[in-house]
Chain A
Amino acid sequence: MRSAGNDIVALDKIDPGRSQHPGFYTKILAGAENALYQDDLFPLLSFEHFLWLLWSIKESVYKYAKRTCPGLVFSPTKIVVESIATSEDETGLFYAAQVRAGSGVFHTRSFITADCIFSMANHTNDFSEVTWGLHPIDNDGHEFQSRAVRVFLLQRLTTLFPDVYWEIEKSPEGYPILLRDRQPCHHIPVSFAHHGHFVGYSLAL
């Protein structure tokens, strides 16, 4: 089943001191993941940014997997990043990871700006069918974030499909569902994320 999962970490919302405390990061990183942090692989990445990069990877995979497994519980140390490397495409530098969650293997792409980390998950490392968007907002209140990410996605969909009337509903499990001309559009799964002054989405077209 196709799915979608994404996550945002606003860097002004993290506590660098707390992030470097073993009592904190051991609740996020699985034991083997500590070894992934190597200066030669991430020369410009601080440990706290590495930590929150892995958090956003895990959160995006959780959202992706939860759609097909509604009872799934988010437990960061049980969603394990097996490998991560830098890569580059026309949008710039990104981090590509392979992630294991239960019996499933997932792939993610993430990038880090000066202000936030954005991750998206997929069942394959081919992301050609995954469309995403990241947008800064003025107000970091929850209601505003929630409205802003919906408006942002609807604008994109209207650009892609100008003759279609799009709406967004929430499933009983809590993930967004697109309505295409008032009918559920399950073949285009979509995921929302917001944190601080950023909202974003990913969807599989």
Chain B
Amino acid sequence: MDRQEILEELKKVLAPHTEKKELLDSINDQTDLIQDLKINSANLVDIVIDAEAKYNIEIDVDSAEKMVNVGNCIDVIEEKLKQKA
């Protein structure tokens, strides 16, 4: 799964937790989950759990804390997918 494919699936993970759904079509690596997508911090654990289920991976605490913007999320998911392969 390349970064673009990860991004497309990530949009589905983020969608239930943002009211700025119109922004999902134009998100990029710098898009901040809280500042730009207005995702409440209380939903960040939901996003980690949903990403684990979506990609069938486990995201440890040290990796989860890096998931503050879209690029970081893709980095973590890409790394975990490689570890699983």
Find the B residue at minimum CB distance from A52. B42
Q: Are A75 and B42 in contact (CB under 8 A)?
A: no
Interface residues of B (CB under 8 A from A): 19-20, 35, 38, 40-42, 44-46, 48-49, 52, 61-62, 64-66, 68
Q: Are A78 and B61 in contact (CB under 8 A)?
A: yes
Per-position 1/0 for A6-39, Cβ under 8 A of B? 0001000111001000011001100000000000
* 18 chain-A/chain-B pairs, Cβ below 8 angstroms: A13-B40, A18-B46, A27-B45, A27-B48, A28-B45, A52-B42, A55-B42, A59-B42, A73-B66, A73-B68, A74-B44, A74-B65, A75-B62, A75-B65, A77-B61, A78-B61, A142-B20, A174-B35
What 3 A-B pairs are tightest by C-beta distance, nearest first? Answer: A75-B65, A142-B38, A73-B65
Q: Are B65 and A195 in contact (CB under 8 A)?
A: no
* Interface assignment of A5: CB less than 8 Å from any CB of chain B: no
Q: Are A141 and B61 in contact (CB under 8 A)?
A: no
The distance in angstroms between the C-alpha atoms of A55 and B44, with both chains bound, is: 12
- In which size bucket is the chain A interface? 20 to 34
Q: Are A141 and B41 in contact (CB under 8 A)?
A: no
Per-position 1/0 for A65-96, Cβ under 8 A of B? 00000000111111000000000000000000
A-B interface contact total, Cβ < 8 Å:
42
Given A23, A142, A195, which contacts B42 in the complex, CB threshold below 8 Å?
A: A195
Known contacts: A27-B45, A195-B40. The answer to whether A142 contacts B19 by CB under 8 A is: yes
Q: Are A14 and B42 in contact (CB under 8 A)?
A: yes
Interface residues of A (CB under 8 A from B): 9, 13-15, 18, 23-24, 27-28, 52, 55, 59, 73-78, 141-142, 174, 195
Q: Are A23 and B49 in contact (CB under 8 A)?
A: yes
The distance in angstroms between the C-alpha atoms of A75 and B45, with both chains bound, is: 10
Q: Are A59 and B49 in contact (CB under 8 A)?
A: no
Given B19, B46, B48, B68, which contacts A141 in the complex, CB threshold below 8 Å?
A: B19
Find the B residue at minimum CB distance from A10. B42
Q: Are B42 and A76 in contact (CB under 8 A)?
A: no
Q: Are A27 and B42 in contact (CB under 8 A)?
A: no
Find the A residue at minimum CB distance from B62. A75
Known contacts: A76-B45, A141-B19. The answer to whether A27 contacts B40 by CB under 8 A is: no
Q: Are A9 and B49 in contact (CB under 8 A)?
A: no
The distance in angstroms between the C-alpha atoms of A68 and B21, with both chains bound, is: 33
Find the A residue at minimum CB distance from B40. A195
